[in-house]
Structure formats: structure tokens, C-alpha cells
Amino acid sequence: MSVFGTGHEIDFLTAQTLLAKKQRVADGVKILLDVAKESADWFPPLKSALGGVNALIKHYEVLIGRVDGPRA
């Protein structure tokens, strides 16, 4: 099976492990963005930019159906 468009053959378990690691990194980045946004009161443009990035990520997750729960 070819994963991530690389043309390299890897087994299913390795693919699952890579995807799990990728998801943990993505979750960590989202947490980091949230914390940075909440602590950026001293520089409103930064807080605004971080809030915009967070909103884009959340809309993307809803679009691809990653977020659990009912959709409004």
C-alpha cells in the first residue's frame, strides 16, 4: 500500500502509527495556539491573528467531519 503519495510500500500498522503521531502533533499545535491566544492580551493584533487561525482549523475539521457530535 502506498501512503502519503510517496510511492513507498509500508504495512497497515506502520501507516496507522504514522497517522496517530501526526494527529497527536496536530492536537498539540492546536493546544499551543489556544494557549498563545489566551495569553496574548498584551498584543491585540497577535491575539486576533491566533483567533483567526483557530477558527480556520475548527471550520476545516467540521468540513472534513473530524469533529464528533451534532452539527448545527
For 37-51, what is each residue's pLDDT tens digit? 888 888 899 999 999
CA gap 59, 71 in Å, rounded: 11
The identity of residue 39, as a single letter, is S
The pTM for the full model equals: 0.60
Q: Which three cell numbers stand for residue 5?
A: 503519495
Three-state DSSP class for residue 44: helix
Tell me if 50 sits within 8 A of 33, measured CB to CB: yes
Residue 66: pLDDT band with limits 50, 70, 90: low
Tell me if 58 sits within 8 A of 30, measured CB to CB: no
pLDDT for 49 equals 92
Q: Which three cell numbers stand for residue 65?
A: 467531519
Annotated domain spans of the chain:
24-72
